[in-house]
Amino acid sequence: MPMYQVKPVSEAHIQIELPTCMYKVPNIHAHRGDSCASEHALQNGEVDPAVKALGARQDEIMRKLYELKATVDGLAKTVTTPDADLDLTVSSSLSSQSFSSATSQSITDLNTVLGKDLGALRDIVINANPARPPLSLLVLHSLLCQRYRVLSTVHVHSSVPSVPPQLLSCLGPRHAESYARHTFQLGFTLIWKDPKLQMKFSIQNMCPIEGEANVARFLFKLLTPYPSDPVLATLVDSWVDMAFFQLAEGSAKEHSAVLRSLNSALGRSPWLAGSEFSLADIACYCCMLQSSSSSAAPANVQRWVKSCDNLGHFSPVKLLMQ
């Protein structure tokens, strides 16, 4: 042809990221000859659905394998040491072993606390009073988000006339894939509702858990197993109770007493329950934030508050309190 040639304006194969939430329309350029409406083919650049399905299947198989492994581990434990529950050292070493590899075992973790997976989203429902936002639970929520795929939703109950906007966004922005609930490991549903704080999970097999302290204990178990050392566990427990009963709700006298004991405990170790950050730290920090007493705190407590701040877990609730 007596025409000059132009270089192609773009390369032949452009990869286009297409959303996966829509159904596919066949390529409109594929068969020119047919009538307009009947032209359909795959849109170019789309990730092959077969590959995706294969990936999903593999994930599913891996998940099942891990579940199986956990069950077998459990069985092995009872078979090899029939009186495992009596032998504290054995069981504690076993549990620490089985919980060491965090991410891959996360599902089994959930299973041990929440019960068998029924193939649907396991939704934890928390009713909270908008006048007293449960700060510790919000911290635990952000920790859970780091560990699991958590679907977080905030609702306002019809018995509450209005809720400040920062409480509606306190669980962070809406997840991009929130339309597919089944793809999440854990649901965290926060309902602003008077009067008391309550957590519901399985209404058939479990009583509602009442009180922020108890809900916090439950949620923390989803993150790490409770210390197997009974002394340590009791210590954490007593700090949590002290935080919620005396620091958050107690009189000024009780308040300063707690601050003193906090100070002496933090003089001995970096965190409240020894060398590791624990629920005790979360509870005490949040209750201090709520009673806004951190400025008048003694030196060790001040230092501890600073190291808590440095962890970054508490920045969302600090924003909320402003």
Partner 1 sequence: MHGYSFFFLPLGMCKGVEGFEVIRFMCVCEAERTLVHVQDLTPEKADQLIWLRARVHTSRAKGKQCFLVLRQQQFNVQALVAVGDRASKQMVKFAANITKESIVDVEALVRKVEQKIESCSQQDVELHIERILVISQAEPRLPLQLDDAVRPDGEGEEEGRATVNQDTRLDNRVIDLRTTTSQAIFRLQSGVCQLFRDTLTKKGFVEIQTPKIISAASEGGANVFTVSYFKTSAYLAQSPQLYKQMCICADFDKVFCVGPVFRAEDSNTHRHLTEFVGLDIEMAFNYHYHEVIDSITDTMVQIFKGLRENFQTEIETVNKQFPSEPFKFLEPTLRLEYTEALAMLREAGVEMGDEDDLSTPNEKLLGRLVKEKYDTDFYVLDKYPLAVRPFYTMPDPNNPKYSNSYDMFMRGEEILSGAQRVHDPHLLTERAIHHQIDLEKIKAYIDSFRFGAPPHGGGGIGLERVCMLYLGLHNVRQTSMFPRDPKRLTP
Minimum CB separation from partner 1 for residue 297, in Å? 39
| Tokens standing for residue 139 | 């911290």
Minimum gap (Å) between residue 294 Cβ and partner 1: 35
Indicate the residue among 123 and 309 with the shorter CB distance to partner 1: 123
3-state secondary structure of 188: strand
Complex with partner 1: residue 182 or 253, whichever CB lies closer: 182
Q: Least separation, in Å, of the C-beta of 248 and partner 1? A: 25
Q: CB-wise, 146 or 159, nearer to partner 1?
A: 159
Handedness of CA 104, 106, 107, 112 (dihedral sign): positive
DSSP, residue by residue, 33-95: SS-GGG---PPTTPPPHHHHHHHHHHHHHHHHHHHHHHHHHHHHHHHH-TTTTT-HHHHHHHH
Q: Are the beta carbons of 110 and 148 closer than 8 angstroms?
A: yes
- How far apart are the C-alpha atoms of 93 and 109, rounded to whole Å? 16
Identity of the residue, 75 or 180, whose beta carbon is nearer to partner 1 in the bound complex:
180
Question: In the complex with partner 1, which residue's Cβ is closer, 2 or 19?
Answer: 19
Q: Measured from the CB of residue 302, what is the shortest distance to partner 1 in angstroms?
A: 41
Least Å distance, CB 48 to partner 1, is 14
Shortest Cβ distance from residue 175 to partner 1 (Å)?
13
Q: To the nearest whole angstrom, how small is the minimum distance from the Cβ of residue 195 to partner 1?
A: 13
**How crowded is residue 44: how many other Cβ atoms within 10 Å of its Cβ?**
13
Between 124 and 282, whose beta carbon lies closer to partner 1?
124
Which DSSP symbol is given to 247? I
| Residues 21 and 179 sit within 8 Å (Cβ to Cβ) | yes
Residue 274's region, left for phi above 0, alpha for psi from -120 to 50, else beta, is: left
Q: Which residues bind partner 1 (CB under 8 A)?
A: 19-25, 37-38, 40, 118-121, 123, 125, 127, 153, 155-159, 179-182, 189, 191, 193, 200, 202-205
Q: Which two tokens stand for residue 121?
A: 């989203």
Pick the closer one to partner 1 by CB: 57 or 306: 57
Indicate the residue among 199 and 235 with the shorter CB distance to partner 1. Answer: 199
**Least distance CB 44 / partner 1 (angstroms):** 17
The C-alpha atoms of residue 65 and residue 308 are separated, in whole angstroms, by 38
Q: Would strands 198-200 and 209-210 be described as parallel, antiparallel, or unpaired? A: antiparallel
**Would you call 295 helix, strand, or coil by DSSP?**
helix
